[in-house]
Amino acid sequence: MSATVQADFGASWYAGTAAGTFERPRLTFDIDVDVCVIGGGLAGLTAAREVARRGWSVAVLEAKRVAWSASGRNCGFVMPGFGSDPRRMVERVGIDLAKALWQLSEAGVDYVRTTIRDTGMAGVRPMSGWLDVSKADNGDELEAIATLLAQKFGTDVETWTTERVRAALKSDFYFGAIHYPGAIHIDPLNYAYGLANAALAAGVAIFEETPALAIDPAGVRKRITTPLGRVRAAHIVLAGSAHLGALAPRLAETVLPVTSYVAVTAPLGERLGAAISYKGAVSDTRVGDSQYRIVGDRLMWAGGVGTWPPSTRRAVGQFKSTIERTFPQLGAVEFEHAWSGVMGYSVHGMPQVGEVIPGLWLASAFGGHGLNTTAMAGELIAGAITDGDDRWRLFLPYELVWAGGTLGRAVHQVATWSRRGSENWAASLSRRREAARRAEAAQVRPEQAGPARVAPPPVVPRQVAPPQDAPRHVAPRQVEPPEVEYGPVARPEPARVEPTIAEIASTQVPEVESLLGQVAERANRQKARRPDAQKGKTPRRTQGAAPNGPTNRTAPGGAPGRQAQAASPSGEPEPPAVSKDPASTD
């Protein structure tokens, strides 16, 4: 590759490892062809090749080098879909039209795969699979998208659980994913070179370093002016995307130029396989900040998308920080190649494909899904020009919308920051919730994982004494005496259970037992000194004594019976004794 060509491609790893070179001369004369394609990127090369294969004459004008911009600088993902979310597509155009459009995007993937195989392209190295990973724990949302794609669109997809994702990508940053086994990733520059050579073989004339300065689309034969020659053609295909500029200013204003960065690490050796075992392409954000794939023993990383992007050095610093957080097991990572590329985006996220005015065709705004949609657009336009295929009309609901100029770029940048912040917040929240679940699970021992078994308390048979005529002795209940605070009487707390009167009295039985016995003995002696019989009178009974028995009746357990009132040894009357009958058996 010459120094001039190298300067056009910059520090691209693709340019340094290209399987070959591709250089074509400038246009220095006037020519007349059926179709003139302006732009030597993937969309223009595909359209030119397909038109030439149908027997028409074609010329391609490229201002710099074939695939020098986004076509040869991207991360190499060839996957179905568009820049617009499939759910938004359904909301806008309905399920039937959305399905038809999605099938066109899949046809673009098939075209790339078939072309690589049929032409035997060198150095493209296709690898199957694309894993669209979520950094948030939103399995229900992923399942809904997968169901839409599989059941409504007929796409071959499958959902991956968090465990399966982390087995392939050893990172706690990731949760579920949608896997597209039919997607591939390739070396885009080698594919572009192979496509250009295939176009040459089909009869296409390609002119590099030949910018189109002006076009006159009026009339049956349109005119294109270049620095050193002119072209006349029945059809013109504008395939310059973000680089149309002054050639078609009103069309250029419908495209938002967005810059992205790509970088390739130094060889990582065995560390790479220990962190990433999945060989397909990986995306972990809707903003385009983290897309990566394995190339040999290196890691290719893409991101930093924005209308006012950072410098290459700053983007590489961001990549290092992201990789360190996502795959700390890789350790320090150094990048040996880093470059940027400008992509074209439409306001609605869908490509611009179709006929603007009779004979003037547009293939533009492929940002986000460029490899499959450029192939799709080139084939659609070629079929429309040569065979009258009108499938391009499926894109009519997506009009050419003014992108807003400088203000539109500012709005897009703010929206990108907002989406990035929202994704990061959702990802952080999911990780915190997962950490909380792990911490909670770690506090529960395995033997405590099931329902706790509580042994029932021992059942003690209720001791119910037979009814007695006299009070009986009850074993004292061990009750902690409540703390009494002297002063104004306070109401007891509702939760406290106050002891019964019988329980309080039972604690005093041992101290008064002997005294009561003496009182009973004295009363018996006084009774014995009275006359044994007095006619017509009933012997006086001591208050509280049993009505039909002696007052010193022995209670069960050996404790003597007691009178409710008796004289003390000093002759003073005793206060009423407290009954020792149990208050309750409950």
Q: How many CB atoms within 10 Å of residue 107?
A: 16
Between CA 155 and CA 85 the distance in angstroms is: 15
Q: Which range, 339-343, 429-433, 512-516, has the best average confidence (pLDDT)? A: 339-343
pLDDT of 498: 43
Does the model's pTM come out above 0.85?
Answer: no
Q: For residue 296, is it within any domain?
A: yes
Q: For residue 549, is it within any domain?
A: no
Between CA 158 and CA 183 the distance in angstroms is: 12
Among the listed residues 210, 171, 183, the one whose alpha carbon sits nearest the alpha carbon of residue 24: 210
Mean pLDDT of 82-111: 96
CA distances from 24 to 36, 210, 236, 244 (A): 16, 10, 21, 21
Exposure b/e, 546-556, CB count within 10 A at least 16 = b: beeeebbbebe
Q: For residue 545, is it within any domain?
A: no
User: Per the structure block, which two tokens stand in for 431?
Assistant: 């990780």
Among the listed residues 412, 334, 374, 502, the one whose alpha carbon sits nearest the alpha carbon of residue 74: 374
Is the predicted pLDDT of residue 346 greater than 80, yes or no?
A: yes
Pick the range with the lowest mean pLDDT from 305-319, 339-353, 384-398: 305-319
Angle between helices 95-119 and 86-93 (to 10 degrees): 130
**Total structural domains in the chain?**
1
> pLDDT class for 6, splitting at 50, 70, 90?
low
350: containing domain: 11-436
Q: For residue 473, is it within any domain?
A: no
> pLDDT class for 502, splitting at 50, 70, 90?
very low
Q: What is the CATH number of the domain that holds 417?
A: 3.50.50.60
Size of the chain in residues: 586
Between CA 286 and CA 175 the distance in angstroms is: 15
Q: For residue 556, is it within any domain?
A: no
Which DSSP letter does residue 560 get?
Answer: B
Write out the H or E segment, with its range, that includes residue 111: helix 95-119
Q: What is the pLDDT of residues 236-257, one digit of tens each?
A: 999 999 999 999 999 999 999 9
> pLDDT class for 287, splitting at 50, 70, 90?
low
User: Per the structure block, which two tokens stand in for 267?
Assistant: 């060889």
pLDDT of 478: 52
Between CA 488 and CA 490 the distance in angstroms is: 6
Which residues lie closer than 8 Å to 65 by C-beta, 6 or more apart? 5, 8, 9, 22, 23, 40, 208, 209
Q: For residue 221, is it within any domain?
A: yes
Between CA 520 and CA 493 the distance in angstroms is: 42
Three-class SS of residue 130? strand
Do 309 and 364 form a contact (C-beta atoms < 8 A)? no
- For 220, phi then psi, to 5°, come to -75, -40
Task: Sort 164 into a burial class: Cβ within 10 Å, 0-12 / 13-18 / 19+.
Answer: middle
Is the predicted pLDDT of residue 398 greater than 80, yes or no?
A: yes
Maximum Cα–Cα distance for the chain, whole Å? 165
Q: For residue 40, is it within any domain?
A: yes
> pLDDT class for 69, splitting at 50, 70, 90?
very high
Is the predicted pLDDT of residue 499 greater than 50, yes or no?
A: no
Q: What is the pLDDT of residues 504-549, one digit of tens each?
A: 444 444 444 455 556 556 666 665 665 444 444 444 443 433 334 4
